[in-house]
């Protein structure tokens, strides 16, 4: 890479007019250079004289100039177009507080040490295309009143654009190899298409007019906490390898996550989305990975009918505490195809998420306590508040089982809403599974936790006898089982009087003969169908068996009829 830069630098020198009027200064590595382009610090007095001469005649062409260690442009004012293209800044270079009234060209420049543009103002085009920042690039509070072009820029160390203002900020594409901060930056239009953030990217408290993050790749955490998107926000085909946080953000216009890939924690908690919202995995590209988790808690969709999930794999627990009845789910696959064994896993995910949040809150309290104890005198009020928060956290830990039961209840409500959504969209099998999940979660919540023991028993019977009225096969199998069971029982109890008891009726178990198997099967079927079969039961055991079948079999038949009705009435 260094050899390419040297070759490019020499080629630029051949074309530049920056050294017009300059004479031979010295030779370096077999090449002749003027004082402006001589790549060494051994030129202090001569270099300053050459620069002063150019400034006196308003010549702001610094193409390919090799700036030595000591030269700075802090608080300079450039009234005309200034050209630093392919320039090399050998040491820390500061343009802090500078004002560029006309175009500022830094295309192809190289900053070998820290570049400071904090508080600078660019009234016209700021061209930083193909610039390489080997150390920190500080643009905090800079103002770009026209287009700021950072196309093909490479930031090797930290890039700080916090509180910067962009009319048009174009980073299509740029490579950020270290943390990038756009904290409280303001964009009328932002373009980060195909950019790569190889470390953390902070856009918290940012304000966007129109934002494009198409094909952008975030390798570490992407933080959009409390960001405000006034215009369209396009994250089409973006890739989030780790966590992405949109919590408490606001989207006033369309938010498009078409073919976006989420492989880590995705947090939309308490966000506000006022228009179209689209999540999709088009043509098997994008979507939520196997290790992804999503948090839509307390999110506000002002137009639920404009929220679309297409060709994705989702999990019901992601929609806890959000009204999802009006969402559009198209070609959506749910976790494990909503198999029953995943119910506990769904609750465990919610419990783990709550535990992670408690640990994060504890870490923040510990840091706040450390800061409060550093004051002299100690911040007694802050410490008292922290003691109160610690006590509340301990109380929550002591009630962990109650909190876990709350997750059963909340997820049950979510599944009921998803069932309504599926029913209204004619996805009847899916609706049936969600209703089962909802009922099963209420049962698992715990009979004693609800304080309704009798209701809990009936709940369990309803589940095992017919799958909450959703399983025709189970209800039919139980009914057939009752038929066979009572038929076998009738072969053991007395129905037909014996010869010794024909003249003396009795209801003792010792008197009376059981039925033959064939007749017992027919007899049991007639009892199930509410007929009055003969012979009448003779002994108390036989009468009790018939009475039990007349109660249990019709109930099970009714459960079967309910399951059939739910399936076919649709």
User: Residue 192: what pLDDT?
Assistant: 97
Distance CA 293, CA 446 (A): 27
Question: Mean pLDDT, to the nearest integer, of 491-499?
Answer: 74
- Percent of the chain at pLDDT > 70 equals 88
Contact 409, 442 (CB under 8 A): yes
pLDDT at 508 over 60: no
Rounded to 5 degrees, φ, ψ at 72 are: -130, 150
Report how far residue 22's alpha carbon sits from residue 16's, in angstroms, rounded to the nearest whole number. 12
Please tell me the distance from the alpha carbon of residue 521 to that of residue 491, in angstroms, as a whole number.
Answer: 9
In the chain, what are the domains? Answer: 342-452 (no CATH), 472-568 (1.10.287.70)
* 8 Å CB contact between 197 and 220: yes
DSSP-based three-state secondary structure for 96: coil
Greatest pairwise CA separation for the chain in angstroms: 144
Mean pLDDT across the chain: 85
Say yes or no to pLDDT of 335 above 50.
yes
pLDDT digits (tens, 9 = 90+) for 458-482: 777 887 888 888 888 888 999 999 9
Between 376 and 388, where is the model more confident? 388
CB count in 10 Å sphere of residue 124 = 15
pLDDT confidence bin for 7, thresholds 50/70/90: low
The answer to whether the peptide bond before residue 556 is cis (omega within 30 degrees of 0) is no
Could you tell me which of 42, 31, 88 has the C-alpha nearest to residue 65? 88
Residue 186: pLDDT above 90? yes
Confidence of residue 27 (pLDDT cuts 50, 70, 90): confident
d(CA 310, CA 418): 15
Q: Using the 8-state DSSP alphabet, how is residue 513 labeled?
A: B
Angle between helices 380-398 and 400-424 (to 10 degrees): 70
pTM: 0.80
Distance from C-alpha of 186 to C-alpha of 527, rounded to nearest angstrom: 79
Name the band, by pLDDT with cuts 50, 70 and 90, for residue 399.
low
Specify whether the CB–CB gap between 245 and 218 falls below 8 A.
no
């Amino acid at each position: 890479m260094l050899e390419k830069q040297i070759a490019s630098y020499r080629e630029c020198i051949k074309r530049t007019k920056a050294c017009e009027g300059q004479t031979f200064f010295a030779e370096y590595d077999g090449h002749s250079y003027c004082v402006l382009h001589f790549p060494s610090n051994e030129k202090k007095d001569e270099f300053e004289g050459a620069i002063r001469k150019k400034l006196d005649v308003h010549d702001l062409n610094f193409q390919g100039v090799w700036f030595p260690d000591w030269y700075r442009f802090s608080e300079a004012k450039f009234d005309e177009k200034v050209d630093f293209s392919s320039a090399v800044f050998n040491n820390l270079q500061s343009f802090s507080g500078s004002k560029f009234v006309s175009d500022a060209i830094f295309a192809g420049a190289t900053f070998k040490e820290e570049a400071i543009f904090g508080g600078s103002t660019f009234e016209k085009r700021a061209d930083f295309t193909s610039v390489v920042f080997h150390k920190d690039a500080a643009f905090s509070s800079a103002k770009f009143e026209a287009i700021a072009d950072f196309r093909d820029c490479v930031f090797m160390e930290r890039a700080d654009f916090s509180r910067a203002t962009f009319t048009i900020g174009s980073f299509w594409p740029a490579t950020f190899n270290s943390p990038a901060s756009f904290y409280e930056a303001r964009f009328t239009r932002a373009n980060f298409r195909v950019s790569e953030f190889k470390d953390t990217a902070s856009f918290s408290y940012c304000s966007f007019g129109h934002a494009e993050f198409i094909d952008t790749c975030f390798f570490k955490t992407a933080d959009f906490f409390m960001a405000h998107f006034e215009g369209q926000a396009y994250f089409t085909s973006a890739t989030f390898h780790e966590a992405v946080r949109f919590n408490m953000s606001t989207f006033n216009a369309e938010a498009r996550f078409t073919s976006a890939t989420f492989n880590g924690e995705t947090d939309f908690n308490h966000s506000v989305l006022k228009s179209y919202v689209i999540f999709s995995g088009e043509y098997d590209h994008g979507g939520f990975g196997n290790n992804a988790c999503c948090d839509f808690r307390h999110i506000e969709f002002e137009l639920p009918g404009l929220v679309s999930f297409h060709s994705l794999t989702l999990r019901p627990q992601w929609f806890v505490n959000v009204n999802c009845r009006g969402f559009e789910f198209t070609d959506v696959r749910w976790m494990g195809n909503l198999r029953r064994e995943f119910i506990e896993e769904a609750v465990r995910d919610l419990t783990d998420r709550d535990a992670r949040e408690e640990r994060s809150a504890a870490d923040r309290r510990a840091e706040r306590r450390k800061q409060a104890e550093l004051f002299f005198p100690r911040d007694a009020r802050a410490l008292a508040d922290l003691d109160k928060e610690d006590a509340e956290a301990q109380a929550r830990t002591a009630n962990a089982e109650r909190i876990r039961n709350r997750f059963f209840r909340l997820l049950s409500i979510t599944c009921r809403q998803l069932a309504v959504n599926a029913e209204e969209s004619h996805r009847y099998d899916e609706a049936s599974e969600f209703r089962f999940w909802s009922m099963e979660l209420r049962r698992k919540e715990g009979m004693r936790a609800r304080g309704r023991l009798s209701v809990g028993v009936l709940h369990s019977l309803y589940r095992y006898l017919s799958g909450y009225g959703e399983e025709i096969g189970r209800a039919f199998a139980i009914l057939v089982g009752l038929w066979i069971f009572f038929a076998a029982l009738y072969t053991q109890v007395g129905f037909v009087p014996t010869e010794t008891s024909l003249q003396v009726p009795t209801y003792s178990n010792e008197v009376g003969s059981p039925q033959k198997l064939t007749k017992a099967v027919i007899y049991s079927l007639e009892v199930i169908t509410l007929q009055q079969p003969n012979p009448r039961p003779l002994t108390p055991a036989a009468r009790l068996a018939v009475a039990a079948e007349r109660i249990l079999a019709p109930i099970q038949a009714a459960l079967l009829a309910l399951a059939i009705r739910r399936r076919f009435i649709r």
